């Protein structure tokens, strides 16, 4: 159905190999028969979670984001290890970042972060039935846990104070799911 849009890869060159990311330049032939280049940031994928406490408050994290030039308030998230199950990664990341293990994970969506240049796909979960359990977080992470009511989340959304795409998508989908559950 979409084969008429498919580009045919003819060459790929890795120009950077980092700890998490690989940057490559791909040469493709477009459907019109033209040669073009595509710069791709290859990423192993990630998870993001909207953790809900039993009293329906949301756990979020504030951390410095060097690329954004400031501290952002976000839902917890983390990169997948090679071959790691996304649900297992979500549980691990929650224990590392906010000190809770989820008994229930509901997949909200899978989304590409920016498909024009990166392969990163994030699986977003609603995390419920949380029990306290902490794992040490990564040594290069400095995280502040923030607990918010849904009214406070709504205020932040309406004031435009949440600037992270996975956070916006996760919160809006979690809110919608909760609204349909309790109608």
Please, which pLDDT band fits residue 57 given cuts at 50, 70 and 90? very high
CA 126 to CA 69: how far, in whole Å? Answer: 28
- Please check whether residues 72 and 36 belong to one and the same domain: no
Q: For the whole model, what pTM was predicted?
A: 0.93
pLDDT recorded at residue 68: 95
Task: With H, G, I as helix, E, B as strand and everything else as coil, classify residue 133.
Answer: coil
- Please check whether residues 127 and 87 belong to one and the same domain: yes
CA 75 to CA 125: how far, in whole Å? Answer: 10
CA 4 to CA 70: how far, in whole Å? Answer: 42
Q: Give the chain's domain count.
A: 2
- Please check whether residues 59 and 147 belong to one and the same domain: yes
Q: What does the chain come to in residues? A: 183
pLDDT recorded at residue 183: 63
- Please check whether residues 56 and 102 belong to one and the same domain: yes
- Contact status, residue 154 vs residue 148, Cβ threshold 8 Å: no
pLDDT recorded at residue 122: 98
Q: What is the pLDDT of residues 140-165, one digit of tens each?
A: 778 999 999 999 999 999 999 999 99
- Please check whether residues 59 and 119 belong to one and the same domain: yes
Question: pLDDT averaged over the chain?
Answer: 95
Which residue segment(s) compose the domain that 26 sits in? 3-42
- Please check whether residues 52 and 36 belong to one and the same domain: no
């Amino acid at each position: 159905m979409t084969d008429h849009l498919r580009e045919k890869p003819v060459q790929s060159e890795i120009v950077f190999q980092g700890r998490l990311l690989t940057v490559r330049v791909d040469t493709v032939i477009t459907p019109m028969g033209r040669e073009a280049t595509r710069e791709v940031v290859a990423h192993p994928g990630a998870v993001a979670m909207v953790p809900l406490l039993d009293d329906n408050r949301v756990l979020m994290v504030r951390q410095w984001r060097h690329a954004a030039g400031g501290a952002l308030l976000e839902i917890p998230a983390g990169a997948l290890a090679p071959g790691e199950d996304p649900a297992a990664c979500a549980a691990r990341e929650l224990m590392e970042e906010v000190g809770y293990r989820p008994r229930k994970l509901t997949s909200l969506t899978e989304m590409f972060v920016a498909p024009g240049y990166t392969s990163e796909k994030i699986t977003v979960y609603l995390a419920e039935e949380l029990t306290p359990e902490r794992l040490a977080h990564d040594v290069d992470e400095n995280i502040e846990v923030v607990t918010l009511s849904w009214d406070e989340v709504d205020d932040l959304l309406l004031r435009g104070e949440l600037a992270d795409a996975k956070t916006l998508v996760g919160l809006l989908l979690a809110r919608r799911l909760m609204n349909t559950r309790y109608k």
